[in-house]
Amino acid sequence: MVWDPHQYLAFAGHRLRPALDLLAHIPDKGQRTIVDLGCGPGTVTAYLTKRWHEADVLGLDSSEEMLAKAGAAAPKARFQVADIGDWAPAKPVDLIYTNAALHWLPDHHTLFPSLFSHLKPGGILAVQIPRNFSRPSHTSVAEAAKDGPWEATLAPMIKPPPTHTPNVYYDILDPLSDNLDIWETDYIQALEGENPVAEWTKGTWLRPFLDALDEPERSGFEDAYRKRIAAAYPKQANGKTLLPFLRLFIIASKPA
C-alpha cells in the first residue's frame, strides 16, 4: 500500500480532532520516553513534543512517503521507518500513543498485550481506532469490489471489520491495567466539496483497493464506489455533507 500524504491531509482538521481528544485525556506523569506508533505525516507527533518538550519522542511508520513530511512537521522528534506490527523498543517506554493506526493490524487479542509489555511500570498505552466499518463509507467498498470485472482481484481483499466492540478491549486489557478508561465518540463531520466522503476514504480505507488495480479497472471501481457514496451521503441544504464517524478511545495504565 502506497500512502498519499496529500490525499490523507485533505481533511486534516477532522482527522486531527480525535487525535487531540485522545492526547487531552492522557495523564501527565512527566513522561520522558514516548513512541508515536503509526505517526503518519507527524502532525500529532508535533503536539506530543510540545506537551512533553523534554521527552525523547520517536515517531514510527511503515510509509516513507508519510515520514518524508513528518520531519518538517515535528523537528524536535526522531522518526524511523518500521513495521509497527513487529516493533519492539530496546527498553520499555513511558507512553505508547497510537492514533488511527492499529486497525491496519490483525489479532488485537495478541497485539494489545504485546504493546502493553513494552511499557515501563506506571506507563500508559493510549489508543484511538476507527469503528466506522459497518457504515456505508466502508461497506460500500466491499459492495463495489464485488460489482464489476475487478471482482476476482478485489474480493479476496475483503475482510471482516478489523476492530472490536469496547467490551472486547476491556476484557483484553483489564487483567493487565490498574486504570483503564474506554469510551467512544461519534463525530458528526460536516465536509465540503464534491462527494467528499469518497475523497475521505480515498485517503485511507479505499487506498489498498485502488492500488491493487491497473487502469481502466481502477477508474471503473472508483466510479462504482463514488456512486454508492453519493447516494448514501447526500448533501445538506447548505451544500455540505455530513459524515458520522465512530471512534474508540482507550487509555490503559500499567501498574507501577
The DSSP secondary-structure symbol of 71 reads H
* Nearest alpha carbon to residue 229 among 255, 253, 193, 254: 193
Structure confidence at residue 14 (pLDDT) = 85
Q: Which amino acid is at 215?
A: E
Structure confidence at residue 29 (pLDDT) = 95
Structure confidence at residue 12 (pLDDT) = 65
Q: HSE-up of 91 (CA within 13 Å, CB side)? A: 6
Per-residue pLDDT of the chain (256 residues; tens, 9 = 90+): 444 444 444 456 788 899 999 999 999 999 999 999 999 999 999 999 999 999 999 999 998 888 988 999 999 999 999 998 889 999 999 999 999 999 999 999 999 999 999 999 999 999 999 999 999 999 999 999 999 999 999 999 999 999 999 999 999 999 999 999 999 999 999 999 999 999 999 988 999 999 999 999 999 999 999 999 999 999 999 999 999 999 999 999 999 9
Look at the chain and count its residues.
256
Q: Which amino acid is at 124?
A: I
The DSSP secondary-structure symbol of 235 reads B
- Structural domains of the chain, ranges and CATH numbers in brackets: 5-253 (3.40.50.150)
pTM, rounded to two decimals: 0.91
In whole angstroms, give the CA distance from residue 64 to residue 223: 29
Structure confidence at residue 2 (pLDDT) = 47
Q: In 148-182, which positions are buried (b, 16+ CB within 10 angstroms) versus exposed (e)? A: eebeebbeeeeeeebbbeeeebeebbeebbeebeb
Structure confidence at residue 207 (pLDDT) = 92
Distances in Å between the alpha carbon of 135 and those of 69, 138, 236?
A: 31, 6, 19
Structure confidence at residue 211 (pLDDT) = 94
Structure confidence at residue 193 (pLDDT) = 94
Structure confidence at residue 66 (pLDDT) = 85
